Amino acid sequence: MATTSEIKQQLRAQRIETPSWAYGNSGTRFKVFAQPGVPRTVREKIDDAAQVHAFTGVAPSVALHIPWDRVDDYAALAEYAEDAGVRLGAINANVFQDDDYKLGSVTNPDPRVRRKALDHLLECVDIMDATGSRDLKLWFADGTNYPGQDDIRDRQDRLAEALAAVYERLGEGQRMLLEYKLFEPAFYTTDVPDWGTAYAHCLQLGERAQVCVDTGHHAPGTNIEFIVAVLLRAGKLGAFDFNSRFYADDDLMVGAADPFQLFRIMVEVVRGGGLDPAAGVAFMLDQCHNVEPKIPGQIRSVCNVQEATAKALLVDRDALTAAQRSGDVIGANDVLMDAYKTDVRPLLGELRAEMGLDPDPMAAYLRSGYQERIAADRVGGAQAGWGA
Amino acid sequence: MATTSEIKQQLRAQRIETPSWAYGNSGTRFKVFAQPGVPRTVREKIDDAAQVHAFTGVAPSVALHIPWDRVDDYAALAEYAEDAGVRLGAINANVFQDDDYKLGSVTNPDPRVRRKALDHLLECVDIMDATGSRDLKLWFADGTNYPGQDDIRDRQDRLAEALAAVYERLGEGQRMLLEYKLFEPAFYTTDVPDWGTAYAHCLQLGERAQVCVDTGHHAPGTNIEFIVAVLLRAGKLGAFDFNSRFYADDDLMVGAADPFQLFRIMVEVVRGGGLDPAAGVAFMLDQCHNVEPKIPGQIRSVCNVQEATAKALLVDRDALTAAQRSGDVIGANDVLMDAYKTDVRPLLGELRAEMGLDPDPMAAYLRSGYQERIAADRVGGAQAGWGA
Amino acid sequence: MATTSEIKQQLRAQRIETPSWAYGNSGTRFKVFAQPGVPRTVREKIDDAAQVHAFTGVAPSVALHIPWDRVDDYAALAEYAEDAGVRLGAINANVFQDDDYKLGSVTNPDPRVRRKALDHLLECVDIMDATGSRDLKLWFADGTNYPGQDDIRDRQDRLAEALAAVYERLGEGQRMLLEYKLFEPAFYTTDVPDWGTAYAHCLQLGERAQVCVDTGHHAPGTNIEFIVAVLLRAGKLGAFDFNSRFYADDDLMVGAADPFQLFRIMVEVVRGGGLDPAAGVAFMLDQCHNVEPKIPGQIRSVCNVQEATAKALLVDRDALTAAQRSGDVIGANDVLMDAYKTDVRPLLGELRAEMGLDPDPMAAYLRSGYQERIAADRVGGAQAGWGA
Amino acid sequence: MATTSEIKQQLRAQRIETPSWAYGNSGTRFKVFAQPGVPRTVREKIDDAAQVHAFTGVAPSVALHIPWDRVDDYAALAEYAEDAGVRLGAINANVFQDDDYKLGSVTNPDPRVRRKALDHLLECVDIMDATGSRDLKLWFADGTNYPGQDDIRDRQDRLAEALAAVYERLGEGQRMLLEYKLFEPAFYTTDVPDWGTAYAHCLQLGERAQVCVDTGHHAPGTNIEFIVAVLLRAGKLGAFDFNSRFYADDDLMVGAADPFQLFRIMVEVVRGGGLDPAAGVAFMLDQCHNVEPKIPGQIRSVCNVQEATAKALLVDRDALTAAQRSGDVIGANDVLMDAYKTDVRPLLGELRAEMGLDPDPMAAYLRSGYQERIAADRVGGAQAGWGA
């Protein structure tokens, strides 16, 4: 069993990336509710992300979404981020918000549209070159709404072709993260609906293609930690997009809906060596704060991932293995539950104090006056959002 | 077993209401794709609805959504519709698209917001008085996203209070239809999530409060036709909002995802006497045509409901009952499947010819040139949509 | 906020009933694995239930299942239980394990079978008279496997008729608990599939008919605590059948699959006054220990319910209400999570010590030697089980 | 578009294998209802399978389940089958019904149990040598019920080791079919829960390892035809286990719950070349007839697969492709629906007449007197069943 100091060291080394779009307005197809103080520019998003890092100490990078975060000079943006205390992280390609993409992007039956989508993906790699980002995250909204609408297999061929072209373009030290999702916005077929499809494509592409697990993108009843364990075993787990859900892709704060599931996921991450920075597993948030304030929403989420990680690290591995090997069902379960039931907030408070941070990041942020300041200052202009 | 002529008579008497919002643009939170020829005004929506009726002969009314379809003079609008060949149907209240409603409408913790929402509902009854509409359809987006966000029970109390006030206001011959929905846009609790909750409130209110079954609003695995049978038995089935789904509330064309389920629903409608106009069951469509053209989408949907109804009417009731009573499981199932497997398109073609219509409404519409005309004419202005 | 001593008092007063069948062998359709030491008789089951009470102090009664627990002299059985330190609790009627019930019991198309089933239910009330049990728990496996197999509505009529006859027969102080279940063993329709159906029948019957919520009997995505809140508000929550599930009706140890859900359920119980003994809400376990030992499985389950209850009692109600009323989404959620994240095992350990019990019931039981004793002694004879 | 005669030729060439266990008693954990005339021996099961073939003409083989169908002389059994008019088909290994397998078979933490399970699998290959069977079908009940109960990754390693040993043992022309299943009988993890896991293992093993798709083994909302398309594209679709479901693994008659889904699956089979005998896709039934008679249940199922196949062959491929390529969403859907809505029973009746069969297999079987004969003759002895 790890000592408290070893546990703290691992927690201190964990990196959780926040997404630029979490700081903008979001909503459902029914309504996007505006919130005061929401950023109008990429730089204001970076400022907000820097706050999350300032109070938690473990969120040192922010992911960009292109074209939402398109700027003229990415090097300057990277410098701006650096000055703010964070780095630019993964580049997220967006090939779902142009009228051309109504029937798909890289899988569209129309070759012209496919070419346009591919060009956007390649542009994203250009941006990575400029920002120094390691990861290109690919999520495709592609799919169909009606049986017969398009040919499932042809679309797989088109997908494979586009992925190969992008993979080919990747530079030294760059990776492609392929994300899967059960459904939405497509309602009949989705071209990358499950981990199996993502895995098969990544295997075909090569070792720099890895699977991204978004915790909200599965069918009801799916055992996500099993997928995590299997992907780690296969060396194909590239990243997490963390969030939580009760129903579909609710994109709630991670750990809000099923904290025990988040714990079990982190247990498999630890078990499979995924917490080791050398494993290259990126821990990213991908959330919408439709009704709650954005920065507090991110702070709470970062803390939730930390708490789950801390509990996972508390599992008495030797006792667990002994119970498992001897077929002691309740005993083995008890070892796991013992870690889960532990209140790790004191431990995390200590760690933060040691890192020179307030033990309670949420309270400290709320006291800081930043929220009131941006609400007062960020008046006028167009608030950032998904632009749907 | 009904004769062909009796079946045709029942099919001829069936009324399927189309929704004004199906003619506008719609989409998901990721993107609303614009389509050419989409209406800019309520009157253009009515024109499109009139097309659906002109070619199908069984869609003589169009539902309005307030405030999307707000006009100064509802009597004039009713007259306009009449001239176009259709009637104004149910009034749909919208209390989810104002920033005030972020935490709920009639269940909002803030009494001011509750009052505002109630006023809107009462205004809708005023509109019904002006349009001569019988039905007020109430769907509440109200709910919460996070455990603890609000008190479940307090919200039920607030809901009951608002419903009572609206019920009280209903005039002679007016009804309230209460719709339930599992989730979306709220992701933790929804204040009217299932038929049981809707039923309990309607029971409390009185006989003019009835349940509206939206076929896309259930948990996975829910047996919808069972609910239909139970509500009909209790005299509480007021209406259907038809659409179809593979996953969540996909709002696809009814009958597109599971035509056998639609048939089973219509079997229970017929069994329970719900096809009799005296039963007061309103058959309404509630759909989104995100990727397919709007008017063809509505025509196909109306035809799908008709086909399912025709098949349901073909069920040999005597043979079915005999097999059921004798415990002949496969025999009873075969009686049902025999009706389902029948291709009823020739029968419906005949019926339409007898009604002076083209046997194939879709082909006739596509040949009519209407679609090209609106695409050419409806240029400029703001296309109708959800306004989210 | 309740003081620790008030919380302890409520925890001390809570009663959790264990089911006689949890001590026998159980399994799936694929295999029932035998375990050493499993009871051969009702009295041995009572002995085991007495152990659970002895170590937890809050499980003073055991539910019976008829015919599995049929004996000649129920008064003598009640006395036996009393001597062992427990009481006989709810009587569970079983109308699903006779070849006659293949197509249903009280809803069977054959009146002879319906009569037989009703007679069994009435016999169960006779047994209640003898055992002094308050509750008759009714779960019906009735349903159909194929569309058309039987008439949904006729079956509702037959069900209503049988329930009325049983209700009529209930004596002073006796109640009927009607349990619902989504599916299994029937796969197309189930005659009481959801809380709405159970509620509607109970309402029809009268105030001594109450709904029993089995936590494993819902469709995926169902918000169980919402149902709890609504039933408590309506005065119709009679009992819980606790267990947990990942997929269908897995009947795992309560709290094992989603401890946060169990907490949220208990929060609603506390909120709605359901913890007050006067409310009459019975807390019962209904589980299968297919792969884990039975008595430890029951002890762990009782403790899990206690822990969830303790956490629910720790919720700072005033702070919660204040945050809710002011629309502070994250603040309100935080109040709830603060209680959930608290490790209540020390508190429960204290409480047990005050009650003269070992602070760790599981460890104490395992040390007691009882398990080894029954494994050695209970040799020969037919082990108890479901008899499927 | 295929001509009627081409379609008939393909339908005539299709082979649907029935499972020996479908003729025995089956049920749920709640009850196995006995039926009159159920086989007592493997030979009687073969007799019943021969009836299904005699009346349908497309079910010429019967799958065996070991140990349920263990005999001393498999060569003699093969000869017996031949004389009855059928062949012995796939060998199904059973490593879930021994008390030793409580915590798993090839993934059991105990090496002794793993060895025992592997020996059983190897014995099944011996049996294949004797019966001349091509396919070894492997479904593992292995999994865990509680988080922590065993190590997910260790179990994958053990599984891989066992599969490799069996693969190694396969003879010339023999294949291994690996089946996946979401859950049941394990409720927390299942060691082969989805197509991705099965695919990954098969890929590792080599080309004679193929995936078996059981149509009832998926999470709610899973698009099965997508999996079929993807597996065919990868050359890894080995077989189907057909059945249908409303909820979990209901094992109802294929086509009974969602005939449109079955059609869509067959559309992808045809699209991907899977109907060509050279593709090696085995069409097998895997069902339980809990409440309906067994032989009629199998006849209806075979006919349902045939009807779905006929409809799939009726799809106008050229029109479909043209509509798909031009982005005509409703047009493409209509081409598909046109085939689905066609009543193919007359076509199949013709085909059967040409094959010298009665056009209506079910009616012909019921008239044949076989059912009455076996009910009268098969008295005494132990009826076949799962032996759970």
Tokens of A274: 């995924």
Predicted pLDDT of residue C2: 83
Binning pLDDT at 50, 70 and 90, where does residue D386 land?
confident
Q: Is the pLDDT of residue A387 over 60?
A: yes
Strand C237-242 to C31-32 pairing: unpaired
pLDDT tens for each residue of B316-367: 999 999 999 999 999 999 999 999 999 999 999 999 999 999 999 999 999 9
Nearest CB among C258, C296, C330 relative to A296 is that of C330
Quote the minimal CA–CA distance from B222 to chain D in Å.
9
Residue A157, H or E segment: helix A152-169
Question: What count of other Cβ atoms lies within 10 Å of the Cβ of residue B380?
Answer: 6
Compare all CA atoms of chain D with the CA of C247 and give the residue at the minimum distance: D187
B330 contacts D300? CB cut-off 8 A: yes
Quote the minimal CA–CA distance from A247 to chain B in Å.
7
Q: What is the mean pLDDT of residues A217-230?
A: 98
Predicted pLDDT of residue B388: 57
DSSP letter for B216, please: T
- Is A262 a member of any domain? yes
In chain C, residues with a C-beta closer than 8 Å to the C-beta of A300 are 330, 334
> How remote is the C-alpha of D272 from its chain's centroid?
19
C223 contacts B188? CB cut-off 8 A: yes
A320 contacts D229? CB cut-off 8 A: no
Measured CB to CB, residues of chain B less than 8 Å from chain D are: 220-221, 223, 246-247, 256, 258-261, 291-293, 296-297, 300, 307, 329-330, 333-334, 340-343, 345, 362
Separation between Cα atoms, residue A74 and residue A88, nearest integer Å: 10
Nearest CB among B297, B300, B343 relative to D341 is that of B343
Nearest CB among C156, C221, C327 relative to B182 is that of C221
A148 contacts D335? CB cut-off 8 A: yes
In chain B, residues with a C-beta closer than 8 Å to the C-beta of C107 are none
Compare all CA atoms of chain B with the CA of C232 and give the residue at the minimum distance: B153
Quote the minimal CA–CA distance from D70 to chain B in Å.
31
Interface test with C, best of B161, B182, B194 (most C CBs within 10 A): B194
B27 contacts A187? CB cut-off 8 A: no
Q: Which domain holds residue B115?
A: 4-377
Q: Is the pLDDT of residue D388 over 70?
A: no
Domain CATH number, residue D206: 3.20.20.150
D188 contacts C257? CB cut-off 8 A: yes
Q: What is the mean pLDDT of residues D200-209?
A: 98
Nearest CB among D261, D293, D329 relative to B292 is that of D329
Quote the minimal CA–CA distance from B46 to chain D in Å.
22
Coil, helix or strand at residue D293:
coil
Tokens of C180: 């619902």
- Is B135 a member of any domain? yes
B189 contacts C333? CB cut-off 8 A: no
pLDDT tens for each residue of A15-50: 999 999 999 999 999 999 999 999 999 999 999 999
Could you tell me which chains touch chain A, where touching means 3 or more CB pairs under 8 A?
Answer: B, C, D
pLDDT tens for each residue of A109-132: 999 999 999 999 999 999 999 999
Does the model's pTM come out above 0.90?
A: yes
B194 contacts C196? CB cut-off 8 A: yes
Predicted pLDDT of residue B386: 86
Q: Is the pLDDT of residue A78 over 60?
A: yes
The percentage of residues in chain D with a pLDDT greater than 90, rounded to a whole number, is 99
Q: Burial code of A196-223, b = ≥16 C-beta within 10 A, e = fewer? A: bbbbbbbbebeebbbbbbbbbbbbbbbb
Nearest CB among A264, A271, A335 relative to D153 is that of A271
Question: What count of other Cβ atoms lies within 10 Å of the Cβ of residue C164?
Answer: 15
User: For the residues of B298-360, what is the DSSP string, one character each?
Assistant: HHHHHHHHHHHHHHHHHS-HHHHHHHHHTT-HHHHHHHHHHHHHS--HHHHHHHHHHTTS-S-
Residue C144, H or E segment: strand C143-144
Compare all CA atoms of chain A with the CA of B101 and give the residue at the minimum distance: A33
In chain A, residues with a C-beta closer than 8 Å to the C-beta of D272 are 153
In chain D, residues with a C-beta closer than 8 Å to the C-beta of A325 are 109
C29 contacts D187? CB cut-off 8 A: no
C250 contacts D145? CB cut-off 8 A: yes
pLDDT tens for each residue of D132-175: 999 999 999 999 999 999 999 999 999 999 999 999 999 999 99
Separation between Cα atoms, residue A73 and residue A70, nearest integer Å: 9
3 state SS for D190-256: ECCCCHHHHHHHHHHHCCCEEEEEECCCCCCCCCHHHHHHHHHHCCCEEEEEECECCCCCCCECCCC
Q: Is the pLDDT of residue C387 over 90?
A: no
D196 contacts A199? CB cut-off 8 A: yes
Separation between Cα atoms, residue D175 and residue D335, nearest integer Å: 37
Compare all CA atoms of chain A with the CA of D223 and give the residue at the minimum distance: A189
- Is B386 a member of any domain? no
Could you read off the pLDDT tens digit of each residue along chain B, which spans 388 residues?
789 999 999 999 999 999 999 999 999 999 999 999 999 999 999 999 999 999 999 999 999 999 999 999 999 999 999 999 999 999 999 999 999 999 999 999 999 999 999 999 999 999 999 999 999 999 999 999 999 999 999 999 999 999 999 999 999 999 999 999 999 999 999 999 999 999 999 999 999 999 999 999 999 999 999 999 999 999 999 999 999 999 999 999 999 999 999 999 999 999 999 999 999 999 999 999 999 999 999 999 999 999 999 999 999 999 999 999 999 999 999 999 999 999 999 999 999 999 999 999 999 999 999 999 999 999 999 999 986 5
Q: Is the pLDDT of residue D63 over 60?
A: yes
Compare all CA atoms of chain A with the CA of C333 and give the residue at the minimum distance: A256
Predicted pLDDT of residue A89: 98
Q: Which residues contact C256 (CB under 8 A, 6 or more apart)?
A: A333, C244, C300, C304, D146, D147
A184 contacts B103? CB cut-off 8 A: no
pLDDT tens for each residue of C310-359: 999 999 999 999 999 999 999 999 999 999 999 999 999 999 999 999 99
Separation between Cα atoms, residue C134 and residue C171, nearest integer Å: 9
Q: Is the pLDDT of residue C122 over 70?
A: yes
Q: Is the pLDDT of residue C388 over 70?
A: no
Q: What is the mean pLDDT of residues D346-358?
A: 98
Quote the minimal CA–CA distance from B234 to chain A in Å.
30
Binning pLDDT at 50, 70 and 90, where does residue A388 land?
low
* A83 exposure class (CB count in 10 Å sphere: 0-12, 13-18, 19+): exposed
Q: What is the mean pLDDT of residues A258-284?
A: 98
Q: Is the pLDDT of residue D269 over 80?
A: yes
Q: Which residues contact B357 (CB under 8 A, 6 or more apart)?
A: B55, B56, B57, B364
Predicted pLDDT of residue D296: 98
Binning pLDDT at 50, 70 and 90, where does residue D2 land?
confident
Compare all CA atoms of chain B with the CA of D329 and give the residue at the minimum distance: B292
- Is B383 a member of any domain? no
Compare all CA atoms of chain B with the CA of D334 and give the residue at the minimum distance: B300
pLDDT tens for each residue of C25-57: 999 999 999 999 999 999 999 999 999 999 999
Number of domains in chain B: 1
Coil, helix or strand at residue B124:
helix
Separation between Cα atoms, residue D378 and residue D363, nearest integer Å: 23
D233 contacts A156? CB cut-off 8 A: yes
Nearest CB among D29, D146, D246 relative to C187 is that of D246
Measured CB to CB, residues of chain D less than 8 Å from chain B are: 220-221, 223, 246-247, 256, 258-261, 291-293, 296-297, 300, 307, 329-330, 333-334, 340-343, 345, 362
pLDDT tens for each residue of C166-194: 999 999 999 999 999 999 999 999 999 99
pLDDT tens for each residue of D218-241: 999 999 999 999 999 999 999 999
Predicted pLDDT of residue C6: 95
Compare all CA atoms of chain C with the CA of A344 and give the residue at the minimum distance: C341
B146 contacts A252? CB cut-off 8 A: yes
Quote the minimal CA–CA distance from C379 to chain A in Å.
22
In chain D, residues with a C-beta closer than 8 Å to the C-beta of C33 are 99, 102
Q: Is the pLDDT of residue D60 over 80?
A: yes
Binning pLDDT at 50, 70 and 90, where does residue C386 land?
confident
**Do you find a cis peptide bond into C19, omega within 30 degrees of 0?**
no
Quote the minimal CA–CA distance from C272 to chain A in Å.
22
Q: Which residues contact B370 (CB under 8 A, 6 or more apart)?
A: B51, B295
Interface test with A, best of C245, C249, C330 (most A CBs within 10 A): C330
Predicted pLDDT of residue A2: 83
Binning pLDDT at 50, 70 and 90, where does residue D372 land?
very high
Separation between Cα atoms, residue C33 and residue B25, nearest integer Å: 58
Q: Is the pLDDT of residue D118 over 80?
A: yes
The percentage of residues in chain D with a pLDDT greater than 70, rounded to a whole number, is 99
In chain A, residues with a C-beta closer than 8 Å to the C-beta of B287 are none
Measured CB to CB, residues of chain B less than 8 Å from chain A are: 26-34, 96-97, 99, 101-103, 141, 145-147, 149, 182-185, 187-188, 220, 245-248, 250, 252-253, 256-257, 290-292, 386, 388
A146 contacts B256? CB cut-off 8 A: yes
Compare all CA atoms of chain D with the CA of B328 and give the residue at the minimum distance: D292
